[in-house]
Amino acid sequence: MLSHEFMRNALLAGGFIALACGVCGWFVVLRGQVFAGDALSHVAFPGALAAAAAGVDQRVGLFAATIAVGGGIGLLGRGMLLARGAAGVGTAADDTAIGIVFTFILGLGLLFLTLFSAGSAGGAGIQAAHTLFGSIFGLGAGEARLAALIGLAIVLVVLLIGRPLLFATLAPDVAAARGVPTRLLGVGFLALVGMVAAEATQAVGALLLLGLLAAPAAAAHRITGRPFAGVALAGALAVVAMAAGLTLAYAVPWLPPSTAVIAIAIAIYAASGLRS
């Protein structure tokens, strides 16, 4: 299996992408922002198609769209919370902001798909499918190394802000009173989740990346209540899901790698219910 370059590239890129998904996902689940992760997964599709329609690298559109919308959701949700002048309604404000952005994004996705299809000579369907469902077996060596570096950078940033982010999540009022920049952390974290979404789209696609972001993290929450042990476990479970899924897809040629990876991730989550 490892004698094939495409498999080595997939495991290298997929391993670090999965690690970033697991580490970020633990905080996403803790903060109750899984819906935001779902919205950002759909942002990846119109972002990639907009870049393709403009004739630039799809990754430019992926990262620009998901990071911008992630930060925008954080700002909009916080702004609605301040406008209401109430504490304890952050989740409702965030959900409202996400719902507004989500419907707008779906409309943009249809628009860019139409524009891209009209200006394409016939590869629109294939590129759209790669964006929706991933194409990790098609990554070159340079692309795999870049994906691994970005994934590692995301993990390091999350670990750097982990303690204040945990404090701001569990006791936001106390954290703010002690000078923790809770608003900046919230907006920055969602922008970081957007970057994870852009990276994970290469591995499992825009439609399925929420499973890799949420399932291993939710399993880790079931297994342990210790914060940083949970973060490490979430990352490890995501890497296991990625490696096992890619191996399964290699062994079963008709099985898409994204489907295999998400199936393993969901199986891990289901098994964690027995442990808890």
Q: What is the pLDDT of residues 18-38, one digit of tens each?
A: 999 999 999 999 988 887 777
More confident residue, 251 or 123: 251
pLDDT at 152 over 90: yes
Distance of alpha carbon 251 from alpha carbon 249, whole angstroms: 5
Catalogue the E-assigned strands of the chain.
none
| Domains in the chain, number | 1
Residue 111 Cα distances to 7, 104, 116, 206, angstroms: 35, 11, 9, 17
The pLDDT of residue 11 is: 93
Per-residue confidence band for 49, with pLDDT thresholds at 50, 70 and 90? confident
pLDDT score, position 194: 85
- Amino acid of residue 77: G
For residue 138, the enclosing domain spans: 5-275
Segment 251-274 mean pLDDT: 89
Look up the CATH number of the domain holding residue 126. Answer: 1.10.3470.10
Task: Please state the rounded mean pLDDT for residues 193-218.
Answer: 82
pLDDT grade for 85, boundaries at 50, 70 and 90: very low
